[in-house]
């Protein structure tokens, strides 16, 4: 009390500063969530979402991390990564059955193998170097052959089709990377609780790797400069999306309708494990069960006449803490439901094992992207072929997703982004476009096209294209001819006859945005997964990976080829030189000596040969004009002089 | 008689044009355009179309590894690849250009043949041994060469198969024709363009200079000397006539450097002109350096290892990487090694020398096609008299037919059916190379023997006259 006001002020300052710094450290936070969603084809989607946030760097640049993985933050600092996404995927997302028009499919459906893209915050000429270093770092971090993306033949720099990034974006894919538990373990290591506690404890390796589709993703956003203030620091978002087939608990078909009944499942039946409480370090730990729009409206229809609630169709083993209904102003087909379960209250003694038991059969379908994209190869043989991308209209009448920008005269914009390795030599001038099975002029429908033709052994070919199709289009197909290249014997992989992969093409619908809005509780911060759902992102789908067989040389032949070719060259050189150096008189002399040999006996033949040899051509000129003898003499003199000069030179230089 | 001959020639020429047009109108023409024997990465019209498309979409035509030809060809033929006439085949206009190029080449070969024959007859006349020329009963060697060029299946395949080699052949023939006729600017233009289009004709500068310096092919110069001496020795009763003749024959032997200097001047003029044109046409997207890298660099480094009828593709697909540059140098030097010996031995026959050079380079070049073979096989007809007693000619004919039948079969087995492997196709390439070697070696030896024969005759003849 006796403190002078000045001291009090100082003390206040001190206190407030410590408080501020303390809060800055505390901002490092971790949240874990799991979304479960029944899929129309009797499968269950499990989507784990872990988010770790770190506050922006202090001025001195050093930071002590409580939760945030140090390796990642060092990597971000070193290579100045602005945004990065790495995904390991096995299996192919079934866009027709599992949905193609929601945030789940456009964010978490990834092409098979490894996909990596990164945006760097460095000058343009350093981007490639940063990319190369980043690939090596990630390769070491995740025990994968991401370092193959270092070679300039494997990555490219899309300019506008994939996402807007003014030249600092690099994109690469490894379609053949085998994804396995050795990639998952380092990924789990980045979580504060690893897989010892919390939701990640559910990740039973056998059940994940026997799933139909699993995609493990790591998304990184960093805002080094805290200008926006909204999303400061590094946000590390790790997701694992698994599509599992629940083994039906009631296999015996007691009732005919049961064959149509969706399989009932619980966490323990699909993962073989239960949740024993949350990860102690997590700020929040929640499990959601999502019933999508189609399902909800179907359920309502099912029961609507009887006046029950949607919940009457199934039974949940735990009571949800909250039920969220999607706010949709536009779609009006019904809105999806989200049941929220907080894992906080469960523990070892009382594990959380969410189960869903269906009471009535229900059949529904997912919402589809406006066009369903497939890609295939045409042609046979190992010399040439064609890539065809077929866009087929999904049934629009059923669940019509109306274009967000309905004002632009009903046009369907489709971005196509495709990378083709250099040994597939695409003839871009052979681009043909078929709209509703009729060949159309390319200029009429292609609004914008950007092509980076491939350079042999240097860079892959890249095509970015905006198609502008009329809304009522039934199908659109585009074909591109290509020649298959021939590689050097060392460039073939060990299993050369398996063929080579063309990475997936990305089909983006820029004016369709998939987002789900759930009413937010203002009291607490929104869960990161739900806010992710809320972000409007264009609908994106990936096409199939194409397998192109290439001809192989005979791998056992190098020595034979070298020797045979060199023999032919020697044959050419030797025989031509031989013809050229034959002298006029030589053959005649040979003939004459032969004739002489025939005339005289054996011993005399030898003698005559010897004598001709000894006398050389002195015998010859007897018939030739006498003028030639001085010529020969001068030649002889010349030769002698030449030899002498050579000898002198030899002496001079080496003697 | 003479008229009849001429009419016969024109009839055959028109018939060959008709055949080409029919083949152009046939749908797909046996997929000739995509056969590796016909269209190599350098001459394929499809790649030219791709280059033109890239240029139209304001990317450098050399941006990818598709196009490796000249920018001039791109601006000449490019627009024709896009232009379509309703109801006509897609590449009709380009094909017509190639047909016209073939006809012009044939006519030039014919004219060259006539010049050569006249000159040869004259020089033999001066040696008094003109009667060894079997006065060809049906057609002159020029006509035969032209018809051989036109009717050669290789030429027809190259013309109909949408490769630019007819144009390349045309400029080579233009150079030879100009040099034979003594038209220095034309010869320089042909040589510069041929070098610009396909690099290898650069070695033709030696025969062209010899042609301009010494005039067309003659028997060896020694013969004239001997003849002159003989005349001198013989006619010591000495009238002016003999003296004059000696002077004349001596004048023929001397190397006249004036046209050569003119040629060098003109070729430097043309090459600057060509370079300026090229730089104008590549300016918006790249530089001349890029053009050289993409054309000459591509030829010399043998980047593309797609199969062709040459010997190098499989070699470089299989050879160990650390030997690659060594063999690259060796193989390219192999062409150069032979230039000097051949030039020394055949300097009195520059046209034949040019033929041998063309044959050698089309055998050893990195991306040979049948169009190159068509050129030297057409020129072969010019030397019918000299090569009359060539050995193995029937064997060579059979070999050529056999290889050209087997090569598509092997390619099909390897690429399309997958029952054969690369060695099959490589073997036909090897056989083809051997055939060409035999052709080159035998024709050189036949010409040398012919010279020997001439010498013998000219040596013995005066004696006969004396005695």
DSSP string, B313-363: HHHHHHS-GGGHHHHHHHHHHHHHHTHHHHHHHTTT-HHHHHHHHHHHHHH
C-alpha distances out from residue B204 to B76, B176, B359, Å? 25, 9, 11
Q: Which pLDDT score is estimated for A223? A: 74
Band (A248; pLDDT cuts 50, 70, 90): low
Residues A358 and A380 occupy one common structural domain: no
Q: Which residue has the higher pLDDT, A522 or A485?
A: A485
Please count the other Cβ atoms lying within 10 Å of the Cβ belonging to residue A499: 15
Domains contained in chain A, number: 2
| Beta-bridge partner residues of A173 | A115
Q: Decide if B311 and A565 are in contact by the 8 Å CB cutoff.
A: yes
Instruction: Tell me which of A13 and A282 has the higher pLDDT.
Output: A282
Quick one: A336 and A469 in the same domain?
no
Answer yes or no: is A186 within a domain: yes
Structural tokens at position A297: 């409206």
Instruction: Report the SS3 class of residue A577.
Output: helix
Q: Looking up tokens 């010349």, which residue turns up?
A: A638
Mean pLDDT of A128-150: 92
Is residue A220 domain-resident? yes
Return the residue matching tokens 């343009």.
A124
Q: Helix B141-151 crosses helix B370-380 at what angle (to 10 degrees)?
A: 160
Do strands A461-470 and A411-420 pair parallel, antiparallel, or not at all (unpaired)? antiparallel
Task: Please check whether residues A345 and A486 belong to one and the same domain.
Answer: no
Distance from CA of A639 to the nearest CA of B (A): 18
Query: Is there a contact between B126 and B245 (Cβ–Cβ < 8 Å)?
Result: yes
Average pLDDT of the residues in A160-169: 79
E strand or H helix at A470, and its extent?
strand A461-470
Whether chain A has a CB inside 8 Å of the CB on B325: the answer is: no
Please give the structure tokens belonging to residue A107. 């964010």
Residue where the block lists tokens 């039906």: A248
**What sign does the CA torsion over B232, B235, B238, B239 have?**
negative
For B258-272, write each residue's pLDDT tens digit: 889 999 999 999 999
Q: How confident is the model at residue A382 (pLDDT cuts 50, 70, 90)?
A: confident
Q: Which residues pair with A461 in a beta bridge?
A: A420
Tokens (6 digits) for B35? 């056969």
Q: How far apart are CA A483 and CA B40, in angstroms?
A: 12
CB contact under 8 A, A562 and B452: no
- Report in angstroms the alpha-carbon separations of A395 from A400, A475, A543: 8, 12, 19
| Cβ <8 Å between A449 and B430 | no
CA dist A356 and A337 (Å) reads 15
- Tens of pLDDT, residues A175-219: 988 888 899 999 999 998 888 888 888 888 888 998 999 999 999
- Can you list the alpha helix ranges (DSSP code H) found in B128-151? 141-151
Q: A462 and A452 in contact (C-beta within 8 Å)?
A: yes
Q: Is A332 left (phi over 0), alpha (psi -120 to 50) or beta?
A: left
Measure the CA–CA gap between A444 and A527, rounded to whole angstroms.
Answer: 45
Q: Do B66 and A427 lie within an 8 Å CB cutoff?
A: yes
Nearest to B335 by CA among B361, B313, B316, B353: B361
DSSP state of B32: G
Output the pLDDT for position A21.
Answer: 42
Both A386 and A318 in one domain: the answer is no
Distances from the Cα of A178 to the Cα of A175, A252, A503, A540, angstroms: 9, 37, 14, 24
Contact A68/A28 with Cβ under 8 angstroms? yes
Question: What Å distances lie between residue A266 and A207, A218, A273, CA to CA?
Answer: 13, 27, 10
User: What gap in Å lies between CA A517 and CA A331, rounded to an integer?
Assistant: 12
- Answer whether B410 touches A (CB < 8 Å): no
Q: Alpha-carbon distance A496 to B402, whole Å?
A: 32
Domain residues for A299? 35-249+259-367
Cβ distance B50 to B66 under 8 Å? yes
CATH at A423: 2.60.40.1170
Question: Which residue, chain included where needed, has tokens 């053959």?
Answer: A587
Q: Does residue A478 belong to any structural domain of this protein?
A: yes
Q: Are residues A144 and A205 in the same domain?
A: yes
Taking alpha carbons only, the member of B263, B332, B270, B265 closest to residue B296 is: B332
Considering the domain architecture, whether residues A280 and A314 belong to the same structural domain is answered as: yes
Chain A residues with CB-CB distance to B65 below 8 A: 422, 425, 453-456
Q: What is the pLDDT of residue A1?
A: 42
- Residue pair A212/A245 in contact (Cβ under 8 Å)? The answer is yes
Interface pTM, i.e. ipTM: 0.89
For residue A649, tell me if it sits in a domain.
no
Q: Report whether A376 contacts A388 (CB < 8 A).
A: yes
**Cα–Cα distance for residue pair A453/A422, rounded to 1 Å:** 9
Partners of B426 on chain A (C-beta within 8 Å) are: 561
Same domain, A354 and A424: no
**Are A562 and B314 in contact (CB < 8 Å)?**
no
Give every CB contact of residue A26 below 8 A, 6+ residues apart in sequence.
Answer: none
3-state per-residue secondary structure call for A175-192 = CCCCCCHHHHHHHHHCCC
Q: Is residue A90 domain-shared with residue A229, that is, in the same domain?
A: yes
Query: In chain B, which residues have their Cβ closer than 8 Å to the Cβ of A441?
Result: none
**A281 and A67 in contact (C-beta within 8 Å)?**
yes
- What average pLDDT does the structure give for chain A? 81
Q: Cβ atoms within 10 A of the Cβ of A75, count?
A: 21
Three-state secondary-structure class, residue B39? coil
DSSP H helices in A535-601: 558-581, 584-599
Domain boundary among A495, A513, A548: A548
Helix H or strand E encompassing B311:
none
B346-365 residues touching A, CB cutoff 8 A: 363-364
User: Which tens digits make up the pLDDT trace of B5-37?
Assistant: 778 889 999 999 999 999 888 876 667 888 888
How many angstroms separate the CA atoms of A451 and A460, rounded?
11
For A562, the token pair is: 């070298």
Strand segments, DSSP code E, in A438-493 are: 438-440, 446-452, 461-470, 475-484
Instruction: Locate all alpha helices (DSSP H) within A384-514, ordered by sequence.
Output: 442-445
The answer to whether the Cβ–Cβ distance between A572 and B63 falls below 8 Å is no
Distance CA A152, CA A156 (A): 8
| CA max distance for chain A | 147
Residue predicted with more confidence, A401 or B202: B202
Percent of chain A with pLDDT over 90: 27
Is the Cβ–Cβ distance between A95 and A213 less than 8 Å?
no
Structure tokens at A497: 């006859």
Same domain, A195 and A305: yes
Dihedral in degrees, nearest 10, Cα atoms B271, B274, B275, B279: 180
Residue A626 counted as domain residue: no
Q: Looking up tokens 């480094």, which residue turns up?
A: B301
What is the Cα–Cα distance from B431 to B423, expressed in whole angstroms? 12
Q: How far apart are CA A332 and CA A89, in angstroms?
A: 34
Tell me, yes or no, if B326 comes closer than 8 A to chain A by beta carbon: no
Give the pLDDT confidence score for residue B121 in this predicted structure.
83
- Residue A550 has phi, psi (to 5 degrees) of -115, 150
Same domain, A315 and A458: no
Tally of CA atoms within 13 A in the half-sphere of B285 that contains its CB: 19
Flag whether A623 is in a domain: no
Nearest by CB to B304, which of A456, A577, A584?
A456
CB contact under 8 A, B317 and A422: no
Structure tokens at B79: 């627009």
Chain centre distance of CA A407: 35
Please state whether A427 falls in left (phi above 0), alpha (psi between -120 and 50) or beta.
beta
| Distance to chain B for A158, nearest Cα, Å | 16
Q: Domain boundary residue among A483, A513, A548? A: A548
- By CB neighbour count within 10 A (0-12 exposed, 13-18 middle, 19+ buried), where does A437 fall? exposed
A416-434 tens-digit pLDDT: 999 999 999 999 999 999 9
Phi, psi values for residue A462, rounded to 5°: -135, 140
Phi, psi (deg, nearest 5) at residue A282: -80, 140
B334 contact A CB<8A = yes
Provide the greatest CA pair distance for chain B.
Answer: 82
CB A193 within 8 A of CB A200: yes
Residues A380 and A361 in one domain: no
Pick out chain B residues at pLDDT < 70. 1-2, 28-30, 130-139, 227-253, 461-467
Contact call for B433 and A625, based on CB within 8 A: no
Q: Provide the pLDDT confidence category of residue A284 given band limits of 50, 70 and 90.
A: confident
Integer-rounded Cα radius of gyration of chain B: 24
Residues from chain A contacting residue B312 (CB–CB below 8 Å) = 565
Q: Sign of the C-alpha dihedral, residues B350, B354, B360, B364? A: positive
Tell me the C-alpha distance between B185 and B270, whole Å: 9
Question: Are residues A308 and A433 located together in one domain of the fold?
Answer: no
């Amino acid at each position: 009390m006796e403190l002078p006001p000045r001291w009090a002020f100082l003390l206040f300052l001190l206190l407030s500063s410590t408080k501020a710094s303390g809060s800055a450290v505390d901002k490092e936070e971790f949240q874990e969530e799991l979304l479960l969603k029944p899929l129309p084809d009797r499968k269950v989607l499990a989507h784990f979402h872990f988010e770790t946030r770190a506050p922006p760097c202090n001025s001195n640049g050093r930071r002590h991390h409580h939760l945030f993985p140090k390796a990642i933050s060092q990597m971000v600092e070193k290579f100045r990564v602005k945004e990065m996404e790495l995904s390991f995927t096995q299996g192919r997302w079934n866009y027709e059955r599992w949905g193609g028009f929601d945030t789940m499919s456009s964010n978490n459906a990834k092409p098979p193998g490894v996909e990596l893209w990164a945006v760097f915050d460095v000058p343009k000429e350093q981007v490639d170097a940063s990319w190369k270093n980043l690939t090596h770092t990630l390769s070491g971090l995740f025990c994968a052959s991401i370092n193959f993306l270092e070679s300039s033949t494997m990555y490219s720099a899309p300019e506008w089709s994939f996402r807007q990034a003014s030249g600092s974006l690099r994109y690469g894919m490894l379609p053949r990377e085998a994804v396995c538990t050795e990639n998952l373990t380092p990924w789990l290591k980045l979580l504060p609780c690893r897989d010892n506690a919390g939701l990640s404890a559910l990740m039973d390796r056998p059940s994940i790797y026997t799933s139909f589709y699993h995609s493990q993703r790591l998304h990184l956003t960093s805002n080094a400069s805290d200008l926006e203030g909204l999303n400061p620091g590094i946000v590390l978002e790790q997701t694992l999306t698994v599509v599992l087939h629940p083994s039906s608990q009631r296999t015996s078909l007691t009732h005919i309708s049961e064959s149509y009944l969706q399989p009932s499942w619980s966490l323990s039946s699909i993962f073989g494990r239960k949740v024993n409480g949350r990860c102690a370090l997590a700020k929040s730990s929640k499990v959601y069960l999502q019933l999508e729009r189609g399902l909800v409206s179907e359920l309502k229809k099912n029961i609507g006449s009887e006046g029950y609630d949607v919940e009457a169709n199934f039974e949940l083993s735990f009571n949800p803490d909250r039920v969220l209904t999607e706010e949709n102003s536009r779609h009006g087909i019904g809105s999806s439901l989200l049941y929220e379960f907080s894992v906080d209250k469960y523990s070892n003694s009382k594990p959380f094992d969410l189960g869903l038991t269906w009471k009535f059969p229900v059949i529904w379908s997912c919402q589809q992207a406006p066009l369903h994209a497939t890609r295939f190869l045409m042609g046979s043989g190992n010399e040439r072929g064609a890539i065809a991308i077929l866009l087929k209209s999904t049934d629009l009448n059923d669940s019509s997703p109306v274009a967000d920008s309905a004002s632009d005269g009903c046009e369907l914009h489709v971005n196509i982004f495709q990378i083709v390795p250099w040994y597939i030599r695409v003839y871009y001038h052979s681009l043909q476009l078929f709209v509703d099975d009729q060949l159309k002029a390319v200029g009429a429908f292609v609004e914008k096209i950007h092509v980076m033709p491939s350079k042999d052994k240097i860079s892959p070919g890249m095509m970015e294209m905006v198609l502008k199709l009329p809304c009522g289009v039934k199908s659109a197909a585009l074909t591109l001819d290509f020649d298959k290249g021939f590689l050097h014997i060392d460039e073939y992989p060990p299993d050369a006859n398996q063929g080579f992969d063309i990475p997936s093409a990305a089909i983006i619908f820029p004016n369709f945005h998939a987002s789900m809005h759930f009413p937010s509780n203002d009291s607490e911060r929104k869960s990161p997964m739900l806010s992710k759902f809320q972000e409007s992102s264009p609908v994106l789908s990936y096409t199939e990976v194409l397998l192109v067989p290439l001809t192989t040389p005979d791998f056992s032949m190098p020595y034979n080829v070298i020797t045979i070719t060199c023999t032919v060259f020697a044959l050419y050189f030797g025989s031509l030189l031989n013809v050229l150096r034959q002298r006029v008189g030589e053959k005649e002399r040979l003939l004459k000596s032969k004739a002489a040999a025939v005339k005289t006996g054996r011993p005399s033949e030898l003698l005559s040969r010897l004598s001709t040899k000894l006398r050389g051509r002195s015998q010859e000129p007897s018939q030739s004009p006498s003028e030639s003898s001085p010529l020969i003499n001068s030649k002889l003199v010349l030769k002698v002089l030449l030899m002498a000069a050579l000898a002198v030179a030899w002496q001079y230089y080496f003697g | 008689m003479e008229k009849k001959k001429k009419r016969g020639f024109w009839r055959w020429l028109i018939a060959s044009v008709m055949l080409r047009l029919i083949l152009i109108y046939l749908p797909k023409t046996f997929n000739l355009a995509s056969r590796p024997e016909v269209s190599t990465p350098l001459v394929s019209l499809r790649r030219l179309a791709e280059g033109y498309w890239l240029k139209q979409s304001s990317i450098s035509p050399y941006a990818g590894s598709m196009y490796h030809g000249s920018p001039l060809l791109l601006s000449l033929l490019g627009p024709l690849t896009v232009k379509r006439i309703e109801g006509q085949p897609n590449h009709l206009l380009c094909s017509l250009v190639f047909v016209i190029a073939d006809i012009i080449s044939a006519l030039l070969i014919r004219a060259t043949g006539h010049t050569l024959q006249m000159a040869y007859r004259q020089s033999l006349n001066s040696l008094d041994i003109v009667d060894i020329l079997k006065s060809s009963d049906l057609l002159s060697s020029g006509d035969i060469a032209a018809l051989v060029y036109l009717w050669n299946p290789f030429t027809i395949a190259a013309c109909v198969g949408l490769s630019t080699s007819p144009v390349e052949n045309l400029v080579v023939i233009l150079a030879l024709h100009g040099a034979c006729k003594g038209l220095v600017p034309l010869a320089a233009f042909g040589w510069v363009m041929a070098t610009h289009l396909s690099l290898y004709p650069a070695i033709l500068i030696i025969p062209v200079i010899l042609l301009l310096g010494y005039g067309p092919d003659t028997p060896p110069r020694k013969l004239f000397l001997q003849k002159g001496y003989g005349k001198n020795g013989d006619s010591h009763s000495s009238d002016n006539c003999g003296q004059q003749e000696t002077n004349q024959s001596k004048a023929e032997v001397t190397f006249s450097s004036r046209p050569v200097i003119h040629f060098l001047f003109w070729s430097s003029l043309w090459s600057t002109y060509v370079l300026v044109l090229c730089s104008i046409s590549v300016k918006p997207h790249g530089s001349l350096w890029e053009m050289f890298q993409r054309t000459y660099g591509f030829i010399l480094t043998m980047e593309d290892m797609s199969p062709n009828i040459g010997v190098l593709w499989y070699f470089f697909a299989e050879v160990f990487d650390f030997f690659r540059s060594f063999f690259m140098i060796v193989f390219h030097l192999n062409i150069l090694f032979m230039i000097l010996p051949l030039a020394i031995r055949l300097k009195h026959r520059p046209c034949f020398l040019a033929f041998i050079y063309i044959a050698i380079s089309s055998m050893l070049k990195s991306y040979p096609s049948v169009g190159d073979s068509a050129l030297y096989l057409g020129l072969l007809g010019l030397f019918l008299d000299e090569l009359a007693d060539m050995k193995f000619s029937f064997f060579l004919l059979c070999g050529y037919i056999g290889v050209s039948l087997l090569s598509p079969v092997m390619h099909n087995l390897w690429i399309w059916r997958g029952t054969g492997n690369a060695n099959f196709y490589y073997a036909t390439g090897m056989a083809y190379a051997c055939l060409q070697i035999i052709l080159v070696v035998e024709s050189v030896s036949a010409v040398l023997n012919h010279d020997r024969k001439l010498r013998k005759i000219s040596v013995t003849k005066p004696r006969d006259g004396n005695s």
